[in-house]
Amino acid sequence: MESNPRLKVGEGKISGYIAIFLSILSLLGILCFKFPEVLTTADLRAVYTTELVEKLLLFAILASFVFSLVSFLLSRNKKYALIALVLCTFAIVLGGFEVQGRSVEKVNWSLGLDWLVLDLFLMALIFVPIELVFPKNDKQSKFHPEWRTDLIYFAISHLFIQLFGVMTKRPAEAFFGWMNLDGLSQWVQNLPFVLELFLALFLTDIFQYWAHRIFHSHNYLWRFHAVHHSTQHMDWLAGSRTHFIDIFFTRSMSFIPLYIMGFSTLTFNVYVVFIAIHAVLIHANTRIKFGFLKYLITTPQYHHWHHCEDPKYYGKNFAVVFPFIDYIFGTYHLPGDVWPEGTGLRESSFPKGFIKQLFYPFRVNPFKSEINPNEKSDR
Ligand SMILES: [Zn+2]
Ligand SMILES: [Zn+2]
């Protein structure tokens, strides 16, 4: 399947897609208002106010109308505008203009549809314009052959946020729960904020580094992590493509230092927001210049080298926040302004689609030496 041509400003397609995107988010948002017990997360409800999300919903429906009008005027193909108009009308019929938040009874398990809608909206708002104006690969369309696969990964990891959260905390609690860490926590929380945040980012990145490196060097584990590396089209959604075993293991490892050190709520929250945005940024299809910052913090160029398809460069740039960690452990690679020629795996037979990739690592005999490209690197 050939990639779709890249969208250009002025064709009426971008406005059409924005209109459809906003109207779908509005519909999902209305579902959240109607069934908050099962579709929204208690943790996130504590962060936003109902007034704010009511306004956001109103804004999204109105903006969708405006964009569908723009698309109608600009595009010879009226179908985008019409689809968005139908979806918008549907949103209004479902009560989109008069939804009201209500008090919610706490249930044990719920989906994170509110998290999915809000994060998808926010990330698209930040990264779609960046990729449009400053693309790294200006031939690559957002609608490349595997964009739906990446969107499914994004949706699943957000919908099951509660499950992922609980699983992430388990190993740290099991191994370190018996220790009395209050003294350490007090010391950490008395540090200046910047130092505390640096410590949180640095320690989690060290743990992440080794978890990540084990996934590369261990034959069977590589099958799981290969899913993340299978994307040939790096963009803001590509980083979501991660097998759930990979997520559990790497996140629980990274959570250990957070648990032991007991950082303040402020530091923890800033850490979570930073990591969420930064992880999307380093996969994004953008050549924005970061100047000297690229030596201090990982950038798209840095992480694209980690995804390089040429076996010569496998086993480089495992750190996700601080390049100096790779420098210390001898896996640093950042050649000036040069970017890798291509990203992905050289195995053309690698399964495509969420379901196939979900079962793929389990189908392989763990004792059979499989093609692990990392073994051929000179590490
Ligand atoms: Zn990797
Ligand atoms: Zn990656």
Q: In the chain, pLDDT over 90 holds for what percent of residues?
A: 64
* pLDDT computed for residue 51 by the predictor: 86
Ligand 2 centre to CA of 294 (Å) is 17
* pLDDT computed for residue 182 by the predictor: 87
* pLDDT computed for residue 346 by the predictor: 84
Please write the tens of the pLDDT for every residue from 220-266.
Answer: 899 999 999 999 999 999 999 999 999 999 999 999 999 999 999 99
Q: In the chain, pLDDT over 70 holds for what percent of residues?
A: 94
Ligand 2 centre to CA of 239 (Å) is 5
Ligand 2 centre to CA of 280 (Å) is 9
**Residue 318 backbone phi and psi in degrees, to 5:** -80, -25
Ligand that lies nearest to the alpha carbon of residue 250, given by its number in the listed order: 1
Ligand 1 centre to CA of 155 (Å) is 21
Give the three-class secondary structure for 379. coil
Ligand 1 centre to CA of 274 (Å) is 20
Ligand 1 centre to CA of 318 (Å) is 6
Q: How far apart are CA 323 and CA 294, in angstroms?
A: 8
Q: How far apart are CA 189 and CA 178, in angstroms?
A: 21
From 320, 324, 340, select the one nearest 332 (Cα to Cα): 324
Please write the tens of the pLDDT for every residue from 125-169.
Answer: 999 999 999 999 888 888 888 999 999 999 999 999 889 888 998
Let me know: does 110 contact 41? Beta carbons within 8 Å.
Answer: yes
Ligand 1 centre to CA of 238 (Å) is 13
**Residue 308 backbone phi and psi in degrees, to 5:** -55, 140
Ligand that lies nearest to the alpha carbon of residue 208, given by its number in the listed order: 1
Please write the tens of the pLDDT for every residue from 80-94.
Answer: 889 999 999 999 898
Indicate the pTM of the whole model: 0.91
In sequence order, the 6+-apart residues with CB closer than 8 A to the CB of 53 are 29, 32, 33, 101, 114, 118
Average pLDDT, the chain: 89
* pLDDT computed for residue 152 by the predictor: 97
Q: How far apart are CA 274 and CA 323, in angstroms?
A: 16
* pLDDT computed for residue 365 by the predictor: 60
Strand partners, 135: 286
* pLDDT computed for residue 31 by the predictor: 93
Residues of the chain with pLDDT below 70 are 1-5, 10, 364-379
Q: How far apart are CA 60 and CA 24, in angstroms?
A: 10
